[in-house]
Amino acid sequence: MDSSIDDHIFTEIKLSAEMHRAIYLQLADEILLLIKKGIIRSNQKLPSSRKIAHLLNLNRITVTKAISELQTQGWLESFVGRGTFVSNHIPDLEPEQLRNGTNATKAQNIAGFELNELHYLVNPYFVPVAELHLDDGYPDPRLAPIKELYRAYRNQLSRGGIYNRFGSYNSPDGPDDYKEALSQYLNESRGLKTKAENILSVRGTLMGINLVCNALISPGDVIVSGIPGWQRAEHNFIHARARHIGISVDEYGIVVDELREICKKTPVRMVYVTPHHHYPTTVSLRIDRRLELLRLASEYGFIIFEDDYDFDFHYNNRPLMPLASADENGMVIYCGSFSKSFSPAFRMGYLVASENVIAHLANIRILLDRQGDHILDNAMAQILNDGTIQRYLRKASKIYEERRDYFCSLLTQNLTNAVEFAIPDGGMTIWARFDEKIDLEKLAKIAYKKGLYFSDGSIHKYANFNKNATRLGFASATKEDLQSSVAILKSLIA
C-alpha cells in the first residue's frame, strides 16, 4: 500500500453545526472533495478514526459514520489490521489547490457539454410581484370553487379500493369518470358530439399543442396561424421543425382568403386558430370565415387545432359555438382548459378529437408523461356532475362582465387620447392600442416601480406587425384595483 496521508490536510477541513446537513455527511463530502481534487490519492492510508476525531474535535462515532458512508460509495476500502485506504480503483489525479466555493460549484451553474440554445427557447420567466396587475387575461382565483374542489379531492383520497386507484398506472388518456363527465359537459355547453373515447386529459393548452406537434407534425410540414398570435404556440411549431406561415388578422378574425391562396400553392398540415376570442386581439371569427375554414380543411385535408382558451366567459350574447361543434368530417382537434377558468396554478386541460386521433395521441403521451393526475381529474368529475362548475361559471361571468364594463369606462374617462380599444364581447382582457408617442416599454417599467404590472406588448410584435399595443386584463382585479391601476396610468401618461 502507498504512504499515509499527512494529518495537516484534515486540520483544514471546515465543518458547521449550523448547516442543514449532518456533520458526518459534511465530513464525508470534504474527504471526497480531497480525493476528487487529487489532494489524497489512490492507495493512500487515512489516519485512524480516533486521530481524525482528535484533529477535528469530533466524536469518534461521527468520523466512523463518515468513513462508512464513503466505503459504501466505493471511495474508501478498509482492511482488518491494516486500516482504511483510498480505493485502488480510483485513477490518480494531478493535485489541485483547494478552490473557493464559487469555483468549486461551477458544475452547478454551467454544464460541461454543449447546449443547442435555440433563440425561441430563450424564455425569460418573470413573475411579477406588484400589488396591482392588468395581466394577460387571467381569472380571479378568489372566485374559484377552491373549497369544493378540495373536498372533492379529499373524497377521492378517502374512498375504498385503494389499490385500484393508487396501486398501479391507469389509462394515459385520463380516468373514465372524468372523461364521461367532461364529455357530457362539453356536449351541453358547447354543442359538441362526443363520447368519453373522444377526450384526452392533458395538463394544459401548451401540453396539448406540444403533444399534437409531437404526434402529428413532421419536419417541413406547413402550419398556418394568425399574426399577431400566441408565440408559445408558434415556438412549439418551430421546435417541431415545421414551416410556420402567418396570415393577417382583422376585426373579423383570421383572413381566411389568405389561407385559401396558401393552400393552392403548398400542402398545409395544420391551422392553429383561436376563433372565439383571437389571441391577442380578442376579436371573434365571423361566421362566414368559420364555415369557409371548415370547408377548406375538408377540401385540402389539413388539421384545424382550435384553441378555445376562454369559451366560458362571453357577455353580450350566447357564446359562439366552437368550430368543433360544426365539424362533420373529423378535421378539428379541440383544446380547452380549466386553468383559464379557475387559475393558472391548476393544470387541467383536455383535447377532443376523433377516437383514432385520441388513441394515437395517448400512445405518444406515454413517451412524455405516463398519465395525468387522475385524482385531480376525478375530483373535477365530481364537481362537474354536481353542478359546482356550472354555478361558478355563471357567477364569475357576471362579475367579469361588470369588471369589463367598469374598466372600459375608466379608460374612456381617463385615457381617451392615449388608448384606443374595442369593448370585447367576452374574455378577460382588452386589446389596448396606445398612442404612438407613448413608449410602451418605458411606461410598463415605470408603472411597475409604482406597483402596477402590465405587459409592455413586446411579445405581440412581429417583423410585419409592430403595433404599439398590449393586452390589459381586467378579470383578476377588483373594481378598486382597476380604479387604482388606471389612476397610475393616467398620472404617468398625462
The full DSSP string for 174-206 is: --HHHHHHHHHHHHHHH-----GGGEEEESSHH
- First-last CA distance in the chain: 83
Q: Which of 465, 484, 446, 423 is nearest to 134 (CA)?
A: 484
Angle at 338 between CA 336 and CA 344, to 5 degrees: 115
Return the CATH number of the domain spanning residue range 132-138+395-493.
Answer: 3.90.1150.10
Q: Which residues pair with 226 in a beta bridge?
A: 247
Does domain 8-109 correspond to CATH entry 1.10.10.10?
yes
Query: In the predicted model, what is the mean pLDDT of residues 253-259?
Result: 97
Q: What is the largest CA-CA distance in the chain?
A: 91
pLDDT band at 355 (very low <50, low <70, confident <90, very high): very high
Are the C-beta atoms of residues 66 and 25 closer than 8 Å to each other? yes
The pLDDT > 70 percentage for the chain reads 93
**Domain assignments of the chain as residue spans, ordered by start:** 8-109, 132-138+395-493, 146-386
pLDDT value, residue 238:
93
pLDDT band at 291 (very low <50, low <70, confident <90, very high): very high
Mean pLDDT, the chain, rounded, equals 89
pLDDT value, residue 300:
97
Residue matched to cell numbers 371569427: 285
Residue 254 parent element (H or E): strand 253-254
pLDDT value, residue 282:
94
pLDDT over threshold 80, residue 109: no
Return the CATH number of the domain spanning residue range 146-386.
Answer: 3.40.640.10
Q: Which of 169, 238, 210 is nearest to 364 (CA)?
A: 210
Rounded to two decimals, the pTM is 0.82
Burial status of residue 468 (CB atoms within 10 A of its CB: 0-12, 13-18, 19 or more): middle
